Amino acid sequence: MALGGGSARGYAHIGVLAALHRRGLAPDVVVGTSFGAVIGALYALGHDPERLRADAEELRRRDVLPHIVDVGLRRGALFAGERLEAYFRGLVGDVRIEDLPRTLAVVATDVDTGERVVLREGPLAVALRASASLPGLFAPVDWGGRRLIDGGIGAPVPLGTLDGFDLDLTIGVGAGIEARDSRSLRVARRASASRVGRWVRRGLRGAGAQGSRRAWPTLGRALALTLDAWSDQADALAEGNDAAMHVQTRPPIHWLRFDRAAEAIVAGDAAFERAWPRFGAWLEGWSRTVAVAGD
């Protein structure tokens, strides 16, 4: 299962997990980016959907936002990110990704190359910070000689990351805002794809073309990656194919409304219920194939 970003909207992932568990199903592998990585990490730690739901519904914005703010302007971002990492460490402890009871992969983006980076080993709290480091908002995270930022830039729903695992069916869950639902996003996409927008993107990328690690060239590259992603993003999440299924949850809350987790969770549950006929039919066909192969 691949869980996308969306900040507080990502609580919808809990609803999808709950719908799976009601049917006695659970993912063998979870990959996540940004807030999806946070939900995936807690699930991989052994938190069942009911515990995730209870913890999420107790949260308020004042329980989150004041605890992640630390000035980081000298690093080309509004916040340095150390307090964000400390917040994640408070959630998951000092555990390493490879030691989790469930298989987890955290997806980030290399700010210097634009490449997707899949983290399967190392300190979990640091990986979560990297995957959630929105360009311009949080400074990049140093990881093995690379500088990592939000994984959602290259892959809002990191379904392709599951190709590296031996899986029969993969599910991608989206919780971000789609272009069809946001006039502002549609305007931003058109502006980014315009002649002037392309010129701006080239200029931002060129600001760090010599590999400079200074703050402002780094910010320029990060913003260029973000604009590229906006320009290339589809209007809506595709449904997938016979071996891969997308579920778009479309939670009715703002991305900073951590106090409205219950609504996002309900949206995720309902979205999977709507997708169940297709998913159930695939499972039935797969079961018949396995039975025949066993004979």
* Residues noted as catalytic: 34, 150
Task: Quote the tokens at residue 255.
Answer: 């991305």
Contact 30, 3 (CB under 8 A): yes
- 3-class SS at 37? helix
> What does DSSP assign to residue 76?
T
> What does DSSP assign to residue 288?
H
In this structure, how many other beta carbons lie within 10 angstroms of the beta carbon of residue 99? 9
Contact 122, 32 (CB under 8 A): no
